[in-house]
C-alpha cells in the first residue's frame, strides 16, 4: 500500500510538470500544506478572461503571504493562464488549471463554451468596427480566497465585471478602496494588507468617481 501511494504521488507531480506554465519555479519561506484555488469551477465564453486566486496555507491553516505560485494549464489549446493567474478561454472544451508551490498544488476546472450569437436581423444595423458582443457593466463581484486575513499578512482579491446578461466584461479597470485603512489597506491591484483586528469592507469600482461597484467584507484577525 505504501508503495502504491508513493507511485501515485510521483505520477501527480510528473503530470503537473508537463502542463503549460504561466510563471517561473516557486519558492516560499514557510512550508506549504495546501493550496486552494477559487473559483474551483467556472464556465467561460470563448475569448473571455477570468482571474483565479490561490490561497497558500501552512499546516495550521494560516495563509503563507510570501509564497510564489506557479500557474499551469492541463490543455493549453483550451485555455491559457498568465503568471498572475488570469485565465483566457481559447477554444471550446474543458481544462484544469493548477496553482503550485513547493510540491503542493490546487486545481480549478474551466469549461469553455461557444460565444453567444444573435440571430440575423431582417434590417441589420450599420456596422460599427469598435463594437463588441459585450454589453455595458451591470454588476461587479469581488472574490477572495478567504474572508479572513491576519494582521501583517496580505491577500489578493479579484473583481469581475458582468453585463446585464451575466457575461464577463473583459479588460475592465477597477479602482479599489478600503472602508477603514487603519484596519486594512488595499493596493491598486487589489492586494489587501491586514493592519489590526477588526472588520473592513473592500470595494472595487469601475470609475474613480463612482460607476458600478462590488464589495467584500474582510475580517482581520
Domain 21-115 falls under CATH 2.70.150.10: no
The pLDDT value recorded for residue 116 is: 58
pLDDT for 78-113, tens place per residue? 999 999 899 999 999 999 999 998 888 889 999 999
DSSP bridge partners of 199: 219
Instruction: Please say whether the beta carbons of 203 and 210 come within 8 A.
Output: no
How many Cα atoms within 13 Å fall on the side-chain side of residue 34?
A: 7
Q: Give the E-state strand segments of 5-137 in sequence order.
A: 20-21, 34-38, 41-45, 49-51, 53-57, 70-73, 79-81, 86-89, 93-101, 104-113
pLDDT for 129-146, tens place per residue? 333 456 788 899 898 888
Domain ranges of the chain: 21-115, 135-221
- Common-topology check for domains 21-115 and 135-221: yes
Which CATH number is 135-221's, of 3.40.630.10, 3.30.450.70, 2.102.10.10, 2.60.40.1080? 2.60.40.1080
The pLDDT value recorded for residue 28 is: 39
Question: What mean pLDDT is predicted for residues 30-54?
Answer: 87
Give the model's confidence band at 30: pLDDT under 50 very low, under 70 low, under 90 confident, else very high: low
Amino acid at each position: 500500500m505504501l508503495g502504491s501511494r508513493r507511485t501515485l504521488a510521483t505520477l501527480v507531480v510528473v503530470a503537473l510538470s508537463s502542463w503549460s506554465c504561466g510563471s517561473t519555479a516557486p519558492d516560499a519561506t514557510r512550508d506549504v500544506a495546501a493550496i486552494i484555488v477559487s473559483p474551483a469551477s467556472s464556465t467561460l465564453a470563448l475569448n473571455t478572461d477570468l482571474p483565479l486566486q490561490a490561497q497558500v496555507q501552512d499546516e495550521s491553516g494560516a495563509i503563507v503571504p510570501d509564497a510564489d505560485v506557479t500557474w499551469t494549464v492541463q490543455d493549453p489549446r483550451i485555455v491559457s493562464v498568465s503568471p498572475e493567474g488570469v485565465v483566457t478561454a481559447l477554444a471550446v472544451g474543458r481544462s484544469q488549471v493548477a496553482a503550485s508551490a513547493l510540491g503542493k498544488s490546487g486545481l480549478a476546472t474551466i469549461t469553455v463554451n461557444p460565444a453567444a450569437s444573435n440571430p440575423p436581423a431582417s434590417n441589420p444595423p450599420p456596422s460599427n468596427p469598435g463594437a463588441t458582443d459585450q454589453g455595458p457593466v451591470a454588476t461587479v463581484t469581488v472574490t477572495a480566497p478567504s474572508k479572513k486575513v491576519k494582521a501583517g499578512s496580505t491577500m489578493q482579491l479579484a473583481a469581475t465585471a458582468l453585463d446585464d446578461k451575466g457575461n464577463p466584461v473583459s479588460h475592465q479597470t477597477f479602482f479599489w478602496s478600503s472602508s477603514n485603512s487603519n484596519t486594512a489597506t488595499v493596493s491598486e491591484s487589489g492586494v489587501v494588507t491586514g493592519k489590526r483586528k477588526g472588520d473592513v469592507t473592500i470595494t472595487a469600482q469601475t470609475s474613480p468617481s463612482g460607476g458600478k461597484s462590488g464589495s467584500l467584507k474582510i475580517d482581520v484577525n
